[in-house]
Amino acid sequence: MATTKAKIGFVGLGHMGGNMAARFLAAGYTVYGESRDRDEADDLVHQGLVWRDTPREVAEAADVLITSVPNDDVLESVASGSDGILAGLTESKIWIDMSTVSPRASRQVAKRVQDQGAAMLDAPVSGSVPQVQTGTLTIMVGGDEQAYTKVEPILRELGTPTHIGENGQGLVLKLAINISLAVQMLAFAEGLVLAERSGIDPKLAVEVMTGSPIGSPMLKARADLVLDLPDEAWFDVSLMQKDVALALDTGRELHIPLPSAATADQLLTLASALGYEHRDLAALYEVLAHLTSDPQPT
**Closest listed residue to residue 79, CA positions, set 106, 98, 102:** 106
- Cα(9)–Cα(219) distance, integer angstroms: 33
* Residues 261 and 179 occupy one common structural domain: yes
Q: What pLDDT, on the 0 to 100 scale, is given for residue 4?
A: 54
Q: Mean pLDDT for the chain?
A: 93
Burial 75-88 (b: 16+ CB within 10 A, else e): bbebbeeeebbbbb
What DSSP designation does 275 have?
A: T
CA-based R_g, the chain, Å: 20
296 assigned to some structural domain: no
Query: Does 20 have pLDDT greater than 90?
Result: yes
Query: Does 296 have pLDDT greater than 50?
Result: no
What is the average pLDDT across 215-223? 90
- Cα(206)–Cα(200) distance, integer angstroms: 10
- Cα(9)–Cα(7) distance, integer angstroms: 7
Report the alpha-carbon angle 21-86-114, nearest 5.
Answer: 105
Q: If DSSP codes are grouped into helix, strand and coil, which group holds residue 160?
A: strand
User: What CATH number is associated with residue 229?
Assistant: 1.10.1040.10
Band the pLDDT of 3: cuts 50, 70, 90: very low
Band the pLDDT of 294: cuts 50, 70, 90: low
Percent of the residues in the chain that have a pLDDT greater than 90, as a whole number = 85
- What phi, psi does 293 have (nearest 5°)? -75, -20
221 assigned to some structural domain: yes
Length of the chain: 298
235 CB-near residues (< 8 Å, 6+ apart): 128, 280, 281
**Closest listed residue to residue 241, CA positions, set 214, 215, 280:** 280
294 CB-near residues (< 8 Å, 6+ apart): none
Q: How many CB atoms lie within 10 A of CB 26?
A: 13
Residues taking part in catalysis = 174
2 assigned to some structural domain: no
**Closest listed residue to residue 167, CA positions, set 118, 205, 221, 226:** 118
Question: pLDDT of 100-123, one tens digit each?
Answer: 999 999 999 999 999 999 999 999
Are 58 and 9 in contact by the 8 Å Cβ rule? The answer is yes
Band the pLDDT of 297: cuts 50, 70, 90: very low
User: What CATH number is associated with residue 76?
Assistant: 3.40.50.720
What is the average pLDDT across 69-77? 94
Q: What pLDDT, on the 0 to 100 scale, is given for residue 127?
A: 84
* Residues 149 and 237 occupy one common structural domain: no
- Cα(90)–Cα(186) distance, integer angstroms: 45
Q: pTM for the full model?
A: 0.88
Q: What pLDDT, on the 0 to 100 scale, is given for residue 107?
A: 97
Question: pLDDT of 133-188, one tens digit each?
Answer: 999 999 999 999 999 999 999 999 999 999 999 999 999 999 999 999 999 999 99
* Residues 95 and 186 occupy one common structural domain: no
> What's the domain range around 183?
172-291
* Residues 177 and 286 occupy one common structural domain: yes
* Residues 45 and 106 occupy one common structural domain: yes
User: Structurally, how many domains does the chain consist of?
Assistant: 2
Distances (CA, A) of 191 to 19, 66, 184: 33, 39, 11
